[in-house]
Structures are given as C-alpha cells and as structure tokens.
Amino acid sequence: MDKIAIISDIHGNLQALDAVLADIRERGISRIFCLGDLVGKGPHSDLAVDTVREQCEMVVSGNWDEFIRESSEYEAIRWHQNLLGPERMAYLESLPFCIEFMMSGRLVRLFHASPRSLYERIYPWDDLKKRLSLFQPSDRCRVNRTADVAGYGDIHTAFLQHEDSKTLFNAGSVGNSLDMTQASYVIMEGRWGGKDESPFGLQFVRVPYDIEAAIRAAEERNMPLLEPYTMELRTGKYRGKYNA
C-alpha cells in the first residue's frame, strides 16, 4: 500500500508547518502533496514557500498564491509581497491548478477550492448539488470525467463525506485552522496508479504546535493585522478579512 500526506493552507505559519512535517516523517511517509495557499496571513510566507518547494512532490495554486502576485493598495498584501520577492512570486505563478491520478481503482482529483475556480467556496453544510459539483471536471482539469474522490482545502475546516458512492474530503488547514486550534492534514492510502479496485483509506491527523511561538514570530516581524491573526490561532474561529 502506498501513502500520501496531503497538506493545505499553510499561510506562512512555519511553526505549524514544521510540526506537521515532523509528524509525517515520523510516520515514514515520503510523498507529500500540497493544496495551495502557502502564503499570506502569517509571518513566514517566504520560508513557507521555500519549505514546501523542498518537501512537497506536488503543489497546486491557492487563491492567496494567485492574488498575492497582483499589485495592491493594501498594506498587508504589500508586506507579504516584499517578503516573497520576484523569484518566489515566479514559483507561485508556475503552480498548476489541480492534481489528478488513479489510486486503488479510483480517479482522485485534488484542488484548492473547486474544480472550476480558486475562489469558489463550498462548505460541508452547503446543499447537495453544490457538494456534488466538486466531483465534476472543468476545462481547468486534464481528465474529462467525474472523479471518484475529490479533495480540497480553502475553507480551513476538515471533513469527510460520502455521496453517490463517491468520497469528498477537505484536508483542513496546517497554519490557520478554523475548526480547532491544531494543524490538520490527511493521509491517503491505496495502490498508486492502480486501475483495479483495492483497499483505499483516508486518515485525518491533527497536530498540536506552539501557537504562542507562531504569534511571537509575527510580532518580531512586525506583521500587519496581527490582532485578527492572533485571535484565529488562539481560538480557531474566523476573525475577518485580511485585506486591510
């Protein structure tokens, strides 16, 4: 059986990312896929990009990874842009939209927010039609067929659902979890590239990390919008937009 660690939404939180990568190594997993939003919100957008480039086999773009490259009137966005610099910006621009592969007889499609857009936000409590749409391909996908397994990030809320004999999951967030105050990631297990049905599994992992150290890192870097970021890390609850 092959194992893949699926991480998402690091958002510049190096303390959380390091804790998750240490847990992945301890489990002996060597393949790591990242579902985007490496940057923004937290103080280490630059180091998060460097670490993900080094540690992850496949990485897709997130909405922050896209709009961080655009000129902006907002101080917080410009602050992260200055951290990243042109070479990291070019790397973010190069990221693909989705990852598609066969595993244990299932077509798996992984993306940041939806198979159509980096900005379409779908929650586990949305109506069934919206959730089922996450299995459908778009012109941004390579494989023009309905996925058997769809996995994404974006909403910072981990979940697993089965609908119409298909599996839908969200990996949650490594660096800005909004369902509990621990980092989240998923382990996928099955036969990599296997076209015949065989055992397949998903395991959700929550990893504690030093939240106060992450907050101190933001303070030391004089990061804008420190207060809402601090409250989100400490409470696991959304505190508003990060675009001011």
**Nearest-angstrom CA–CA distance, 62 and 199:** 30
pTM of the model: 0.96
Phi, psi of 205 (to 5 degrees): -120, 135
Confidence of residue 161 (pLDDT cuts 50, 70, 90): very high
Determine the pLDDT at residue 69. 95
Residue 66 within any structural domain of the chain: yes
Residue 142 within any structural domain of the chain: yes
Q: Per the structure block, which two tokens stand in for 42?
A: 């937290």
Residue 34 within any structural domain of the chain: yes
CB 31 within 8 A of CB 178: no
pLDDT at 243 over 50: no
Per-residue pLDDT tens over the stretch 124-140? 999 999 999 999 999 99
Task: Give the chain's mean pLDDT.
Answer: 96
The continuous run of DSSP H or E covering 18 comes out as: helix 14-26
Confidence of residue 239 (pLDDT cuts 50, 70, 90): confident
DSSP 66: H
Residue 240 within any structural domain of the chain: no
Q: Per the structure block, which two tokens stand in for 223?
A: 């990061």
Q: Per the structure block, which two tokens stand in for 185?
A: 């990631």
Neighbours of 25 (CB within 10 A): 13
CB 132 within 8 A of CB 147: no
Looking at the 3D structure of the chain, how many domains does it have? 1
Determine the pLDDT at residue 238. 85
Amino acid at 26: E
Q: Which of 240, 214, 224 is nearest to 19 (CA)?
A: 214
Neighbours of 56 (CB within 10 A): 18
pLDDT at 242 over 70: no
Domain extent at residue 48 = 2-235
Q: Which residues of 160-179 are buried (b: 16+ CB within 10 A; e: fewer)?
A: eeeeeebbbbbbbbbbbbbb
Residue 241 within any structural domain of the chain: no
Residue 242 within any structural domain of the chain: no
CB 223 within 8 A of CB 243: no
Determine the pLDDT at residue 51. 98
Amino acid at 6: I
Residue 23 within any structural domain of the chain: yes
**Nearest-angstrom CA–CA distance, 8 and 22:** 16
- Residue 177 maps to which CATH number? 3.60.21.10
CB 210 within 8 A of CB 222: no
With a CB cutoff of 8 Å and minimum separation 6, the contacts of 223 are: 42, 43, 79, 229
